[in-house]
Amino acid sequence: MNKFRELYKGDMETFTPSEKLREETLHLMKEEDLSLMEKSKKYRWSVVLPIAASLILTVSAVAAVIVPRFLTPSERGGYEGHIYSQNTEDTPVEKNMTEDLWTSIGTDINETVTGGNLTVTLKDIVYDNMQMYINFDISTNDGSALQENTEFAKSLLYRQTFNPMYIECDGQKYELGVFRIDNAATPDKASFECFADVSNFLDKDIRLVLSNFEDTVERSSDIGFTFGSLAEACETLTPVEEDDFINIGTYSTYADGTKSYVYTIPQGTQKIYFSEKYPEAYIDAIGFQTVGGSQSKALYLSIVSGTEQNTADIAAYGFAFKNIVTGDVITSYYPEPIEVAANGSEIFYTPEGRPYFLQDRRVETAEGEFEVINDMKMMYNPESMDASLNEGRLILTLSERGRETDMTESDLADYVMVGITPEPEETFIREYGTWSFELRLDADAAAKSKTFDINQEAELNGGTMTVDSITLSPFNLFIKGSAADTGGKPNISSTFLIMKDGSRVIAEKKGGNGLFGETIDLDFLFDRPVNVDDIQGISFQGVDFILR
Amino acid sequence: MNVEPSRADDFAEAVLRDYSDMVYRLALSQLRHNADAEDVFQEVFLRFIKSGKHFESDNHIKAWLIRVTINCCNKLRTTAWFKHTVALEDNYLSASEHERSEVYGAVLELPPKYRTVIHLFYYEDMPISEISKALGIKTSTVTSQLNRARKILRKKLKGDYDYE
């Protein structure tokens, strides 16, 4: 029999951080510059738009080759109405620039190829001598939806892709990045933007290949939640006071001596029945307290399952919360069944994993120890406790990832409870086939970046830095120069474009060498495309460098 | 004037040397992209330096780094940037690469929370109590997550595997 542990270890040990990454990180650590941390993240794609108009010399669509489809739309669950908002969050490049800029650097194509159940329309392309952007639309031929958006199933639009998707050139295949840019307002249509380094493709016959439209659906299950929202369910419950939460132990001690704790909610006395699937289960307490060391408060729900079978089912599959505005299922924290010992006392676990019975709250002494109140019995051997889930209660906690503010009672109106499935995310091919386009990009037509000689010195960290030249394109800034006695690493947190109209455009570090030693060789990406002729200069290390 | 040695000197080098593989592989198991794992790698060690925490032991450092790595991965996973970008030059890690076993591919397909406990249990050889401490969740939760993860893996993996 194969040993899972050995195989997994063997696989993982093939991955090692590069020496360059270690060296760069060590350097950053020694810098102790927190702002640098955020700005030093590497960007995995870049966009460079040409300064003059680009041209596509030839474009031709190639008939699709379709492999058999395995599921019909109805078999997949189909589309039963556009229930939840579907925000793709990012603005595509073509909609993030002025009309004048688009006119000068974008080229309309509008070539269509149909195969299987999909029609793909290559809309337009933007490229210069470094980067290309391609926009295309897809639609189903039978009118079926390209995503699911039902009460218990929602396609994750940001995960939709083609598998595989590449540009073929000189016998090589180059992977493309792609993301969906519409909000699924029209169920059978979708828009995508993809991007690639164009330097290998200029003046060559290339083929854009899209194969097998892939979807990822997040699924939950119906527990027959009998209220319109958690707010309705809990309106008769008074939230447990923060001080009445059970303090299980120290989660972390911070540099200033303050601590964060691990809490759980005590059992309540009311019974709010909430589920048709689990009719014996009820909510007995709610409250708001920090969770897992977080500084913002989460919702705690204490639920009594009612029967052993319910407890076993819930422990196996669990409850989740669903945001009824976005349709997002929040499974950040799985149900934590509270075990009950043979003597009927609930069992809690310290952060160190030590179990104990609780008969009253513990309090922390001035010495940082926890004092046991009212004969709480510490149990160090879980084997001896004869623990079971005997009609035990469950603790659910809800705090959406990324949320920085406290959960409050007013937030409960946005959530209901659902069940989670063993595999809540299902990834599958929604439409099989291959759709391809023949292209040729003209190197002469691809605009080149503009380079400006600067040769300006400035003080930096007690030393001297010299900016020799600045290269600009609508999306990128390249700075070349040198530094002497500046402590090694420039502070890249404050670089921005100074536009002629007085506005600023933030430039984030994208890549480039020269982070160490005496060479400055940095590459930045703007947060929106710009017309190079509108740039007056740049601010770098707090010094303005004006273009001449 | 006496100046205390900076934490960002030999100590930083030692911590980076001793834990870089651990942090990188844990981040990689969570995020599945080299570039994302590298971003988290840098952020974790910078947070370590800036935290000013007093660590009582190597195990304490290890637990703290694991916790912060998971936090950083969760944070990155929720950003629009993460959702909408696909690595171009960096490798997307797949089971087919470099003759890795089907085990690796199956783990990659697990939900992130399950990948975490599987990784810590099977790769870092951490006992359940240590995983509980590192993640700030109860031992019973770790146990149930491990069981659920194994259940999914058994369905995905066709061969017989010893999960001890």
A-contacting residues in B 18-37 (Cβ below 8 Å): 20-21, 24-25, 28-29, 33, 35
Q: CA distances (Å), A228 to each of A220, A235, A236, A328, A413, in order? A: 17, 12, 15, 16, 8
Q: CA distances (Å), B44 to each of A250, A312, A324, B57, in order? A: 22, 38, 34, 18
Q: What is the pLDDT of residues A439-482, one digit of tens each?
A: 988 777 666 678 999 999 887 777 788 899 999 888 788 888 88
Distance from CA of B80 to the nearest CA of A (A): 7
Between B86 and A249, the higher pLDDT residue: A249
Does B133 reach chain A within 8 Å, measured CB to CB? yes
Q: What is the pLDDT of residues A327-338, one digit of tens each?
A: 888 765 445 556
- Select from A37, A177, A292 the Cβ nearest to the Cβ of B42: A37
CA dihedral for A364, A365, A369, A371, sign (positive or negative): negative
Burial of B5 (0-12, 13-18, 19+ CB in 10 A): exposed
Share above pLDDT 90 across residues of chain A, in percent, rounded to a whole number: 17
Q: What is the mean pLDDT of residues A133-146?
A: 92
A-contacting residues in B 55-114 (Cβ below 8 Å): 64, 67, 74-75, 77-80, 83-90, 93, 98, 100-101, 103-104, 107, 111, 113
Distance from CA of B70 to the nearest CA of A (A): 12
Between A231 and B141, the higher pLDDT residue: A231
CA-to-CA distance for A69 and A309, rounded, in angstroms? 40
What's the ipTM? Answer: 0.86
Q: Which residues of B touch A426 (CB under 8 A)?
A: none
pLDDT for A417: 92
Q: What is the mean pLDDT of chain A?
A: 74
pLDDT for A406: 82
Q: Please spell the DSSP secondary structure of A178-244, one letter per residue.
A: EEE-S--SSTTEEEEEEEEE-TTTBTSEEEEEEEEEEEEEEEEE---B-SSSHHHHTTTPPPBPGGG
pLDDT for A52: 27
The model's pTM: 0.57
- Do A424 and B123 make contact, defined as CB atoms within 8 angstroms? no
Distance from CA of B30 to the nearest CA of A (A): 12
**A162 to chain B: nearest residue by CA?**
B86
On the question of pLDDT at A158 being above 60, the answer is yes
Q: What is the pLDDT of residues A321-362, one digit of tens each?
A: 888 877 888 765 445 556 666 666 676 665 555 565 554 444
Q: What is the pLDDT of residues A43-68, one digit of tens each?
A: 222 222 222 223 343 445 553 433 32
pLDDT band (50, 70, 90) for residue B46: confident
- Do B45 and A28 make contact, defined as CB atoms within 8 angstroms? yes
Q: What is the pLDDT of residues A374-424, one digit of tens each?
A: 433 444 444 444 545 545 677 777 876 556 578 888 888 889 999 876 557
Q: What is the pLDDT of residues A98-130, one digit of tens each?
A: 777 777 777 888 999 999 899 999 998 887 777
pLDDT for A431: 92
